[in-house]
Amino acid sequence: MTLWARFRTREGREGFGQLTEGEIHEHAGDLFTTAEPTRMQVALHDVTLLAPCRPTKIIALWNNFYALAAKLGKAIPAHPLFLLKPASSVIGPDEPIHRPRSYQGKVAYEGELGIVIGRQCKDLTVEQAHAAIFGYTCVNDVTAAQVLNENADFTQWCRAKGYDTFGAIGPVISSDVDVSSAHVTTRLDGVERQNYPLSDMICPPEQLVSCLSQDMTLYPGDVIACGTSLGVGSVPDGSTVEVSIEGIGSLRNRLGAQQGAPDS
Amino acid sequence: MTLWARFRTREGREGFGQLTEGEIHEHAGDLFTTAEPTRMQVALHDVTLLAPCRPTKIIALWNNFYALAAKLGKAIPAHPLFLLKPASSVIGPDEPIHRPRSYQGKVAYEGELGIVIGRQCKDLTVEQAHAAIFGYTCVNDVTAAQVLNENADFTQWCRAKGYDTFGAIGPVISSDVDVSSAHVTTRLDGVERQNYPLSDMICPPEQLVSCLSQDMTLYPGDVIACGTSLGVGSVPDGSTVEVSIEGIGSLRNRLGAQQGAPDS
């Protein structure tokens, strides 16, 4: 299994490399094009992991699992349905999710598979899409649930899901995992709340990348959050959400204090 | 009037500077932080103007003019309603708008005022917002109208407005215009289709930047498209849309052939 991590050392230096048995084998160059191993390695416990890539956008799917579509009574979409989460929403493993100032309502977790794009691409066939996928990561697609339908005329997808820290990705990118037989598991303070098979996905990764590349140019590091399934719920303040996928790892983020306030 | 332009020379060199009487007085450094005049100038007719900034995102407002809200019978929103257009949608003056492949439906123009952010900012007061605005540009918020409501369960704002070339901005950024008394005029092949006063805006620029900065971090070069008013309509293939605002200029873009096909 090839796992790519980005990190920051205690001295503030940032780097990236392959994670093997508690050690990150550093690489130089660009993760997507020119990564070359250096001779340096750092111990995982000596560094802070960062979001494993820096997306220009997160394309977040809605209604992409048969089980959830059936539960909600929604028709199967003819084309992937999505909203955009901005780059400013991205955080990495163990970074706190901040409740927006002046929002007292429910904050929801959504455990999801994230596709990491490896090259600039447009109008791909399904076959070409396979080569454009660099790997996979875990996503917590955080949502300010009461903002979503606050206005009767306009569903505020981008606002409810676009707040700073509402796009958690990581802990690493797995570049050779077979996700088709994997499950997404979400635990809230250690208690399992979601456990769904990726085989239930309506529009699977290669087809998704092909379809979305008809809509817009995708860039290296862009993330497609594949949508969630059954078991979405609320995160109490101070609770930790852990999204796990076999072959990738576990992404943990705690809902901290409000932005601007000290994060206890 | 201080007008900032980005350009590319015939030799492929890119630069930026102040536009005065057909000449661009080149500047070095970063437009938003360290712009310093050089002694070089280029004639406007010798260069190609580029999008005047490179947004990480366009925040596009919906229902932000009283006249259009009244016509559509929509309530006045309590908080700005918006969607996100990705960086990949951005084009500059005179660049062609491309009809998406496999989309045969109506393509709509929306002439709008664009606010250009000058500094990284978050949680601004209305007073602070004034200082965070670098200037103003014209926007054509292009929309694939039939995509918007194609799915009965999910209004596809980001998809319908997020296609490559659907975020036209320019021709320049005016950094000292008073937009409060200006009008947005949109002409289709020379015939006026929109002419509305910016004084009719529900949430005016400083308040808009303050409100949106509560929702997400804004970055230098990010553009807020302030929403449109009466007179939105369809662009026939081959037609040119011209969005003009006093004190800024005129942004012209032609709806060309489909992407991938030669643009005749």
Question: Residues A90-128: pLDDT tens digits?
Answer: 999 999 999 999 899 999 999 999 999 999 999 999 999
Q: A214 to chain B: which residues are within 8 Å by CB? A: 100-102
How confident is the model at residue B264, as a pLDDT? 35
Establish if A153 touches chain B: CB-CB under 8 angstroms. Answer: yes
Poorest-confidence range of A249-258, B107-116, B213-222? A249-258
Q: A159 to chain B: which residues are within 8 Å by CB? A: 79, 81-82, 215
Instruction: Measure CB to CB from residue B62 to each of A62, A101, A154 and give the nearest one.
Output: A154
pLDDT of A67 higher than 50: yes
Architecture of the domain made up of B1-49: Roll (2.30)
Q: Phi and psi (nearest 5°) for A78?
A: -80, -25
How confident is the model at residue B263, as a pLDDT? 39
**B157–A152: do the CB atoms touch at under 8 Å?**
no
Among A62, A63, A72, A83, pick the best mutation site for testing chain B contact (most B Cβ within 10 A).
A83
Question: How far does A216 lie from chain B, in Å, by closest CA?
Answer: 5
Which segments of chain B belong to CATH 2.30.30? 1-49
Which segments of chain B belong to CATH 3.90.850.10? 51-258
Q: What average pLDDT does range A18-28 have in this prediction?
A: 97
Query: With contact defined as beta carbons under 8 Å apart, do B253 and B240 qualify?
Result: yes
Question: How far does A78 lie from chain B, in Å, by closest CA?
Answer: 8
**A84–B86: do the CB atoms touch at under 8 Å?**
yes
* Nearest Cα residue in chain B from A102: B214
Q: What average pLDDT does range B42-54 have in this prediction?
A: 98
Establish if A71 touches chain B: CB-CB under 8 angstroms. Answer: no
Among B103, B151, B165, pick the best mutation site for testing chain A contact (most A Cβ within 10 A).
B151
Establish if A103 touches chain B: CB-CB under 8 angstroms. Answer: no
**B88–A63: do the CB atoms touch at under 8 Å?**
no
What integer best gives the mean pLDDT of chain A? Answer: 96
Which segments of chain A belong to CATH 2.30.30.370? 1-50
* Nearest Cα residue in chain A from B217: A88
Among B71, B84, B219, pick the best mutation site for testing chain A contact (most A Cβ within 10 A).
B84
Q: What average pLDDT does range A194-199 have in this prediction?
A: 98
CATH no., domain A1-50: 2.30.30.370
Establish if A84 touches chain B: CB-CB under 8 angstroms. Answer: yes
- In percent, the amount of chain B with pLDDT more than 90 equals 96
Establish if A87 touches chain B: CB-CB under 8 angstroms. Answer: yes
Size of interface A-B (CB pairs under 8 A): 125
Question: How far does B205 lie from chain A, in Å, by closest CA?
Answer: 18
pLDDT of B220 higher than 60: yes
Q: What average pLDDT does range B77-93 have in this prediction?
A: 98
- pLDDT tens digit sequence for B122-171: 999 999 999 999 999 999 999 999 999 999 999 999 999 999 999 999 99
Establish if A102 touches chain B: CB-CB under 8 angstroms. Answer: yes
CATH no., domain B51-258: 3.90.850.10
- Put simply, the chain A residues between 185 and 224 with a CB less than 8 A from any chain B CB are 214-219
Question: How far does B67 lie from chain A, in Å, by closest CA?
Answer: 16
* Nearest Cα residue in chain B from A158: B83
Instruction: Measure CB to CB from residue B81 to each of A56, A86, A151 and give the nearest one.
Output: A151
pLDDT of B41 higher than 60: yes
Instruction: Measure CB to CB from residue B88 to each of A75, A82, A217 and give the nearest one.
Output: A217
Instruction: Classify the complex by whether its ipTM is higher than 0.90, answering yes or no.
Output: yes
pLDDT of B250 higher than 70: yes
Q: What average pLDDT does range A47-76 have in this prediction?
A: 98
Q: B81 to chain A: which residues are within 8 Å by CB? A: 151, 153-154, 156, 159
**What are the CA-CA distances from residue B154 to residues A44, A61, A75, B160, B216 (Å)?**
42, 11, 11, 12, 23
Among A98, A104, A153, A218, pick the best mutation site for testing chain B contact (most B Cβ within 10 A).
A153
**B215–A163: do the CB atoms touch at under 8 Å?**
yes
pLDDT of A262 higher than 80: no
Taking CB atoms within 8 Å and a gap of at least 24, the contacts of A10-14 are A10/A46, A10/A47, A14/A50
Question: How far does B24 lie from chain A, in Å, by closest CA?
Answer: 31
